[in-house]
A and B are shown apart, each in its own frame.
Chain A
């Protein structure tokens, strides 16, 4: 017989808040790449403003966790779930900062002509978003195996980053006038690469929540 129904309901609400926050950040990354592709400065500015909402959401969730710890004295799996959320929201919030970082680069680029059609950068974004989404599914489903699988996929993002870097290096070597524009795109790619790294941190926390073991699951190339 479930006894602490009210407490467990609040715990589920917190997890739902994390999903909502994750969704905000997924949208932010997606839109930052759209803004980059479309040279849409309004969209970029909106992402920068909306990052404050993500930061606020993080504080709200953190406060709820602190209140639950203080008033409910969670134990064992429940305690690990709350600690896991506290760590994960920091990672999600930082991924939000990476999206904001991309938006700021878009603003810097302004209406400069595009250096090349964007192919691998959107792929990196798509992969990072997918990893983030599934890591939060793993959180809700308490699925450590899924979390471990996602960590291995960070290599794909790293490989794409390598590719972007090499390609842009070629541009710069051939024509030094492209250096500024190419460097900015490398910054964008770097933000996406770091986002995927942060997803692997989320996955480590999910594994801890499920198994009680703290372990480094993968070491990123970057």
Chain B
């Protein structure tokens, strides 16, 4: 079969991409997509372990992660819409009214 390490490596790379995007990108939607990417990378790792150790706990936990991701996406998009309505921009650097 495919060795566990490959899955984990893929998961790590995806997670790293997510983190880099989260830190570098300026568009709010893009940042959200990177967050989703990180969550899915983690899902991959969970499923890989579940398959490797033949333990269903990993897959159950994936469900939890997906639920949380969905909820968080809903709330987050609602916030983005509210912010967009006031600031007229999706550039995260412009949302800086609390700046020093």
Do A and B bind? no
Please report A residues at the B interface, Cβ cutoff 8 Å.
none
Interface residues of B (CB under 8 A from A): none
